[in-house]
Chains A and B, each alone.
Chain A
């Protein structure tokens, strides 16, 4: 990396010193963590990302971008930098950084989680998002798969599709599982039902009745928020109604479980997971929500519900961040009023091997796949190379849009870490996150119970809106992938139901933590493969590929190892214990998926290495002259 090594070492040292001071000097406080996060973003952007943009990529304000060259008014449209930053940020930031950060902090403690988030986003995350946009902009707006097809080999594109399908299956199963687990809480369903109804209304008002966006937002968002607050009181009439409703459903089987599966990561004696009728009912509800999002036109359901969810999430995040900062500041100046809200209660470090009841959870490689988005995500590269790159007006916008959005997503992951670390409530991740955010709300005088209910709704909204979109993308992938061989799958409803059936089987037979880690591994493998494509492109153009090649190697080795560890965990903790057939199915399927992903990654890696060596010897195009501004 030449002269680039100095800022890299300084940034690594800076992050390590800051986190060590936080953990060792009794400064583990929400405000300090926010300041550290701010320094990470500033330092990483100014001293590393900007240098790569100027010296390696040589972004040139005078070079015409595909948005200008091929402007068609639809896909290729030059767009304002700030607008595109917001668009890209909203496109990449959703459930991943929230769920992953919570899960990892509970497993290994907040110090490893914070370190990986900070170092990951500085050296890998922004580089992945940004360079995917760069490669697309410099290759006529082609997607990553088209570039891989041209630079590496034709089969890379097919393998990427295989990757994407299994990635989607894993993430949708993990998200459906965790969403249903929160929706069964009687304070949550009313808000989600309101979201669905108001989503339909918003779509109708905007696209059919042609109402103003602000008026539509005011009415539909206001009613959704009101419904969330109406259901917030755990002893109120709404919650009591849903409690009775759930109890009534459970009485159908006389209080017996419909299915019993195994979660070996739970404490001894609690490893049996009893799936009750009310869980199945709300699981069907989540599927119905997702079905509407998948099968109806985008404008009718998926887009407006996601839009309303965005306002709910954004409002909660802003209030939560401000509450965390104020509580931390008051604690620092000696005001004990918010001491319980601002101080970290989670262990800084639980040990290299996370304390789980069964299986192994070594920090390397498992931390690096448990926190995927927030530090780095492969899906961002696919999104950036298609949706965002074709709207880049000026090459100098590539860094603030691609890199900036990734740094902003790091901030979202940081808030999740603060919420789960500062929460007074013990327990599972989602409940703890909600309690933490609810606590931050109380800084502004909002009762913690209401804050917690809003945060629970926000959590479900983030995840369920993502889930419906994944089902949509998944059924498109199935239609394209096997539709020619089996025409029935070209039908929207058949392909959607097929995807839901697979997901249902995984949800009721799989184990959340393994599902989530396998999703993380496939996501990070996709990031590694996107970095590989970037490294090959850099080599083909005679540039120094180190900023993409080194992160590629790290993520590639780490994620293949993580897939194998997960497969081992599934074998060791479930399959080798002679479990019930239903647990054998889920675990066996997950092992097969893990091994398939590893084989696909090895083939793509080998093809990529060959292409890299080929281009290193004979760069395919001349290095452009330095930026002319």
Chain B
């Protein structure tokens, strides 16, 4: 019983250590990849359903055809694109390491 409790605790520690190491080494790559994808994604959404935020670019016919695919992510997109941003919010300030 004691041995299995020890093994379980050791596994938890190992998992935490792995996650910590990933946080130090890989998490910023993941974040940056997501940011790069989001830039393209934002552009795509803007040219397809931009009229939702007051930028009528695409004829509504195509927007409506694409709507079923876009709908699930429109809320998150509007939150991100319309959020007030300050200089200190830019990703460059995220990578300072001082």
Residues of chain A touching chain B, judged by Cβ–Cβ distance below 8 Å, are: 70-77, 79-80, 82-96, 143-146, 157, 161, 164, 171, 206-207, 213, 217, 298-299, 302-303, 306-307, 310-311, 314, 373, 377, 379, 382-383, 386-387, 465-466, 469-470, 472-473, 476-477, 480, 523
Contacts and interface: CB of A to CB of B under 8 A. Distances in A.
24 contacts: A71-B76, A73-B34, A74-B38, A82-B15, A83-B22, A85-B20, A85-B23, A89-B23, A94-B97, A207-B33, A213-B26, A298-B32, A302-B95, A303-B95, A310-B25, A311-B25, A377-B98, A387-B93, A469-B97, A472-B92, A473-B92, A476-B93, A477-B87, A523-B98
A249 to B, nearest CB: 31
B11 to A, nearest CB: 14
Contacts of A299: 32, 36
B98 A82 contact: no
Contact of A82 (B19, B28, B29, B32): B19
Nearest to A69: B79
Interface of B: 15-16, 19-29, 32-36, 38, 73, 76-77, 79-80, 84, 86-98
Nearest to B78: A72
B89 A386 contact: yes
Contact of A303 (B16, B32, B73, B87): B32
A96 B86 CA distance: 26
Contacts of B80: 72, 74-75
Nearest to A299: B32
A469 B90 CA distance: 13
B34 A74 contact: yes
Sort A-B residue pairs by CB-CB distance and give the 8 closest, nearest first.
A86-B23, A82-B19, A83-B23, A86-B24, A72-B76, A94-B97, A86-B20, A387-B94
Contacts of B28: 87, 90, 303, 307
Contacts of B32: 298-299, 303
A145 B86 CA distance: 8
Chain A binding surface SS class: helix
B19 A473 contact: no
Contacts of A90: 23-25, 28, 97
A299 B38 CA distance: 15
B24 A306 contact: no
B62 to A, nearest CB: 24
A386 B97 contact: no
Nearest to B36: A299
B88 A307 contact: no
A382 B88 contact: yes
Contacts of A95: 98
A614 to B, nearest CB: 23
A310 B24 contact: yes
A90 B20 CA distance: 10
B20 A82 contact: yes
Most chain B C-beta atoms within 10 Å of own C-beta, residue among A92, A303, A383, A470: A383
A306 B87 contact: no
Nearest to A146: B86
Contacts of A96: 98
B23 A87 contact: yes
Nearest to B22: A83
